[in-house]
Amino acid sequence: MNKILVTGGLGFIGSHTVVELQNEGFEVVIIDDLSNSSIQVLDGITSITGKKPIFEKLDLKEKSKVEAFFKKYSDIKGVIHFAASKAVGESVQEPLLYYENNISTLVYLLKELKNMQEASFIFSSSCTVYGQADELPITENAPVKMAESPYGNTKQIGEEIISDTCKVLPNLKAIALRYFNPVGSHESANIGELPIGVPQNLVPFITQTAIGIREQLSVFGDDYPTPDGTCIRDYIHVVDLAKAHVIALKRLLENKNKSNFETFNLGTGTGSSVLEVIKSFEHVSGKKLNYKIVGRREGDVISAYADTSKANIDLGWKAALSLDDAMRSAWKWEQKVRKN
Ligand code: WQD
């Protein structure tokens, strides 16, 4: 059975991907430093699949620990790399923390892959690399724009580091998956999004408002040049996203990749406005959401949604779950996690 390393495997997208890897028969080793996740997620994963992943608490910034890990697990066949800091606003305040945590760790990981016979590497990237794209929907050929934040810059730099390394390491093949907006939770509600502190992202703020943790949702601007004046995003169900990671990994393990470094947009291909997301939530939950329109948030792009044809054709992957499915599962998770 192929053994796969998932860094950040106790995080939101990481944990959902571990479940799908186990469902496909992979043996999973998780590295997580628990700085933005909880050890209980390990039980959540096990409760879904009946298989407990191997877990190593490890800070990837500690180079010697990374080297020791790969000596211990010399039979790793592939790596899916989620571990990174990902709060856009925080990255503006703490750029060095983001460059250290998101870039040095990637370099240490790639140095270990150099010694592997065959190394398949999946990189967690983001649609933020496009900034406000000139054309919609956004294809993988859209120009990578000046990053709007140090976080977005670490994704751009990360892709360049991997691309440059793949050019000189014949044993290394990599895919960067550029996520649009991951939302929702596994249908079991045994794993889900666990934002620490006040949620920055829309959907967890909606569910926390509905359950009473937050007083009211602020909608950041309704004066944008969009049909209802609020920003448009491509909200993709996290389970669809997780399944795409397994497909991308298999593409590399089975040497079906067209080049040693590929990028794919992962979205639904449909844009939804903030007000449409709120409407979807009210529809699936039967609850009226308390929100108010306030001023625009610095750095928000007006509209971003994916052209998914490359992933549809080359990966044979298409998002199957709807915005309502995502909101229903996010609400089920919020209700359950507040009970425990
Ligand atoms: C979505 C829309 C807000 C909160 C970010 C990162 C991106 C990725 C996903 C990591 C926007 C509006 C939000 C609120 C609101 N993260 N909003 N009130 O900014 O598209 O993407 O998260 O990879 O890299 O940039 O997602 O959920 O923060 O915002 O009105 O309380 O909801 O203005 O239009 P975003 P988001």
Asked if 4 contacts 21 with a C-beta cutoff of 8 angstroms, the reply is yes
Q: Show the DSSP H helices in the chain as ranges.
A: 12-23, 40-49, 63-72, 88-93, 95-99, 105-113, 150-168, 202-211, 238-253, 274-285, 309-310, 323-339
In this prediction the pTM is 0.97
**Does residue 78 register a pLDDT over 70?**
yes
> How large is the average pLDDT for residues 294-321?
96
Q: What number does the ligand 1 atom closest to the CA of 151 have? A: 24
**Is any ligand 1 atom within 6 A of the Cβ of residue 181?**
yes
Q: Please determine, for residue 141, whether its predicted confidence score (pLDDT) is greater than 70.
A: yes
Say what the pLDDT of residue 340 is: 66
Higher-confidence residue of 196 and 95: namely 95
- pLDDT of residue 256 exceeding 70, the answer is yes
pLDDT band (50, 70, 90) for residue 174: very high
Mean pLDDT of 133-146: 95
Residue 198 has pLDDT above 80, yes or no: yes
Judge whether 186 and 329 are in contact, CB under 8 Å: yes
The pLDDT of residue 6 is 98
Average pLDDT over residues 179-194: 97
Mean pLDDT for 122-126 is 98
| 179 noted as active-site residue | no
- In angstroms, what is the span from residue 85 Cα to ligand 1's centroid? 15
Quick one: average pLDDT of 159-167? 98
Percent of the chain with pLDDT over 70: 100
pLDDT computed for residue 130 by the predictor: 94
Query: 30-34, 144-148, 325-329 — which is least confidently predicted?
Result: 144-148
> Which pLDDT value is given to residue 148?
85
Nearest CA to ligand 1 atom 17: 202
pLDDT exceeds cutoff 70 at 213: yes
Which residue among 156, 274, 289 has the greatest number of ligand 1 atoms within 8 angstroms of its CB, and so is best to mutate? 274
- What pLDDT shows up at residue 286? 98
205 lines ligand 1 (CB under 6 A): yes
Catalytic residue, from 108, 130, 151, 179: name it: 151
SS (H, E, C) 148-164: CCHHHHHHHHHHHHHHH
